[in-house]
């Protein structure tokens, strides 16, 4: 698989690399439609976020084949990852430069996605150590905000913009 650059800061390889896929000998190769979706996700969500933050956005999970998705413990059978429409990430090495903890940087990115008109998204989920974000299309994005933990357990609670912006 050729490593295509989608935007100045994001490439196809970042979205297909998977230690779990390697461990289970799964070829995590996206079809052309998923590659197109990943490119739109980068152009409309991740690159504008990266530019606004001026910090690395580190992809931890991008595209997943059905076989890879099926072996992951908490993956949905309708996961947007399988269509190349979603990614999970954290904010990279900026902690020391910005004087913020990893969690504070995550909250900053979460808020920026919500507030910055140049950053479009379909679904935004804040977890304790990463953010899940998806992009479908300008016409179909729901701009749904969820919290990935409720009462200390994995679970999804819908969150208003106002409440999301108050999260510490």
For 15-28, how does the pLDDT look when each residue is reduced to its tens digit (9 = 90+)?
Answer: 999 999 999 999 99
Please name the helix (run of DSSP H) or strand (run of DSSP E) that holds residue 103, with its range, or none: helix 102-115
Please check whether residue 73 is in contact with residue 67, taking contact to mean a CB–CB distance below 8 angstroms.
Answer: no
pLDDT beneath 70, residues of the chain? 1, 93-98, 149-155
Note the pLDDT of residue 98.
60
DSSP secondary structure of 18-82:
-HHHHHTT------HHHHHHHHHHIIIIIHHHHHHHTS-EEEEE----HHHHHHSTT--TT-GGG
pTM, rounded to two decimals: 0.91
Q: What is the C-alpha to C-alpha distance for residues 71 and 135, in angstroms, rounded to an integer?
A: 24
With respect to CATH, is domain 5-119 assigned 3.30.1380.10?
A: yes
Note the pLDDT of residue 94.
53
* Residue range 54-89, pLDDT digits in tens: 999 999 999 999 999 999 877 888 999 999 999 999
Q: Could you tell me the residue ranges of all domains in the chain? A: 5-119
């Amino acid at each position: 698989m050729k490593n295509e650059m989608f935007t100045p800061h994001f490439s196809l390889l970042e979205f297909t690399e998977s230690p779990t896929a390697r461990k289970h000998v799964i070829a995590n190769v996206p079809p052309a439609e998923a590659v197109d979706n990943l490119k739109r996700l980068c152009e409309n969500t991740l690159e504008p976020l990266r530019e606004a933050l001026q910090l690395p956005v580190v992809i931890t999970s991008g595209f997943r084949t059905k076989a890879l998705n099926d072996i992951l413990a908490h993956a949905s059978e309708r996961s947007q990852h399988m269509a190349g429409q979603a990614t999970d990430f954290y904010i990279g090495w900026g902690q020391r430069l910005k004087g913020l903890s990893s969690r504070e940087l995550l909250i900053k990115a979460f808020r920026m996605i919500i507030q910055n008109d140049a950053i479009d998204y379909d679904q935004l989920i804040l977890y304790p150590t990463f953010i899940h974000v998806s992009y479908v299309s300008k016409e179909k994005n729901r701009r749904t905000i969820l919290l990935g933990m409720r009462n200390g357990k994995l679970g999804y609670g819908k969150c208003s913009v106002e409440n999301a912006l108050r999260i510490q």
